[in-house]
Amino acid sequence: METKDFEWDYAPFPYFKGGKPVTSTGSWHLGLNAYSNKKDEAAKFMKFLTTPPGCIEWFLVDGHLSPNKVVLDYIKKDPKFQTFPYDRFHLSIYESLNTAIPRPVTPGYLEYEQLLTDAFENIRNGADVKQTLTVTATRIDQMLRKYR
The string of pLDDT tens digits covering residues 36-87 is: 999 999 999 999 988 999 999 999 998 888 878 899 999 999 999 999 888 9
Cβ 106 vs Cβ 112: under 8 Å: yes
Other CB atoms within a 10 A radius of the CB of residue 88 amount to: 14
The string of pLDDT tens digits covering residues 102-146 is: 877 778 888 998 999 999 999 999 999 999 999 999 999 999 999
- Longest CA–CA span in the chain (Å) reads 55
- Enter the pTM of the model: 0.62
